[in-house]
Amino acid sequence: MLQAGIVGLPNVGKSTLFNALTKTRKAEAANYPFCTIDPNVGVVQVPDARLTPLAELVKTTTLIPAAIEMVDIAGLVEGASKGEGLGNKFLANVREVDAIVHVVRCFEDEDVIHNMGRVDPVADAEVIMTELILADAESVASQLQKNLKKARGNDKDAAASVALLEKLIPHLDEGKPANLLPMDEDETERLKTFHLLSSKPMLYACNLKEDEIADPTTNPRFVAFREWAASQQDAACCAISAKMEEELSELEEEEAKEYLEAMGVSDSGVTSLIQATYDLLGLASFLTAGEKEARAWTFRKGMTAPQCAGVIHTDFEKKIYQSRSGILRGLNICRKHECSSRRRQTPPRREGVHFCGWGCRPLQM
């Protein structure tokens, strides 16, 4: 399962958010830095508005949404790339995740100490990004040495890596994240093999006060931050209130509804955040439904329809074909007579149908 790591300075609300996301108290949320030393991993369900009506249609009460893993990574601090505040350990945890949810603090609360002594989300985000870039600069320098050696032995692949690494050095030195380097398609693919922290897909979760969530633009720090993020990296910004979400996760469904109504919001910030994270990981889902269950299945965007069928069962990838109606059928489980008779007459057409083009239509098997 793909993983998104929650990162940010200490005391910005990462563990509180993680608790809300996983609906557990697994990660400790306490008002002091470094209370979370080992990463906590939790499975998070991806809310899907299509599932309930589909379940009603097929008369099942079992709903199985898609899921992703979230990792609560302890607070990074200035100097992390030089080992400050267990920096190396935390950076190693960041290296392992597939995407980054970067939490910044926009809420004021005198009772919650700010690591840098003031609430300034832009400065906070710059501290974290600088640490990721500094760690990348070190990694690029060592990968360059290794590839130079190989390139001298006429290794063409290593020579291509050297060319890209040499472009990355001045780019990182200017304080720019690796993913902003102008690259062609080959270079974009090659960049992935370097496993750089600043090349990972990232979105910002802006942690606001409970009463600001109905209209996040009432918080001038959020407004300024969103403009800054768009100008810097075109990264998405989700407005959330970690505290409110944590309270919501402890309430029964009806109570949670009433609470949301009282706060003047219909959708929780966390719902949008999880969906944005799922999208950031390059994932999408298709649905199946029957008496037993209504279920969302995860596929990577760009996968073909047969590959998607293979997510359910590897056999389906080989046995699926596209019928004239454009509906995909799995030969081994389709009970319709016309299907088996057609099978006898003509060999199945197996085309690389791109699933994205199918929108959210259920895959009928």
Which residues, including other chains, have CB under 8 Å from residue 89's CB and lie 6 or more apart?
37
Q: How far is CA 300 from CA 184, 190, 305, in A?
A: 22, 19, 11
Q: How far is CA 22 from CA 46, 67, 244, in A?
A: 11, 11, 14
Among 24-32, 48-56, 120-128, 257-265, which window interacts with ligand GDP (CB under 6 A)?
24-32
Answer whether 76's CB lies under 8 Å from 7's CB.
yes
Residue 29 binds to ligand GDP (criterion: CB under 6 A) = yes
Residue 15 binds to ligand GDP (criterion: CB under 6 A) = yes
Among 107-115, 123-131, 218-226, 227-235, which window interacts with ligand GDP (CB under 6 A)?
107-115
With 0-12 / 13-18 / 19 or more C-beta atoms within 10 angstroms meaning exposed / middle / buried, residue 280 is: buried
Residue 16 binds to ligand GDP (criterion: CB under 6 A) = yes
Site mask for ligand GDP (CB under 6 A), range 268-307, x = bound: ----------------------------------------
Residue 85 binds to ligand GDP (criterion: CB under 6 A) = no
CA angle 170, 176, 179 (to 5 degrees): 100
Residue 207 binds to ligand GDP (criterion: CB under 6 A) = yes
* C-beta of 272 vs 323, nearer to ligand GDP: 272
Interface with ligand GDP (CB under 6 A), residue from 242, 280, 287, 363:
242
Interface with ligand GDP (CB under 6 A), residue from 5, 7, 14, 281:
14
Among 9-17, 56-64, 327-335, 338-346, which window interacts with ligand GDP (CB under 6 A)?
9-17
Residue 73 binds to ligand GDP (criterion: CB under 6 A) = no
Interface with ligand GDP (CB under 6 A), residue from 4, 5, 7, 8:
8
CA pseudo-torsion sign 262, 266, 269, 271? positive
**Smallest separation (angstroms) from ligand GDP to the CB of 8:** 6
For residue 282, the 8-state DSSP code is T
- Number of residues interacting with ligand GDP: please give it, by CB under 6 A: 21
Task: Read off φ and ψ for residue 161, nearest 5 degrees.
Answer: -65, -40
- For residue 123, the SS3 value is helix
How many other CB atoms are there within 10 angstroms of residue 131's CB atom? 25
Among 192-200, 238-246, 262-270, 282-290, which window interacts with ligand GDP (CB under 6 A)?
238-246
Answer whether 135's CB lies under 8 Å from 91's CB.
yes
* C-beta of 13 vs 216, nearer to ligand GDP: 13
- For residue 95, the SS3 value is helix
Interface with ligand GDP (CB under 6 A), residue from 161, 241, 268, 288:
241
Place of tokens 């190396």: 88
> Which residues of this protein are in contact with ligand GDP, per CB under 6 A?
8, 10-16, 29-31, 36, 75, 107, 109, 112, 207, 209, 241-243
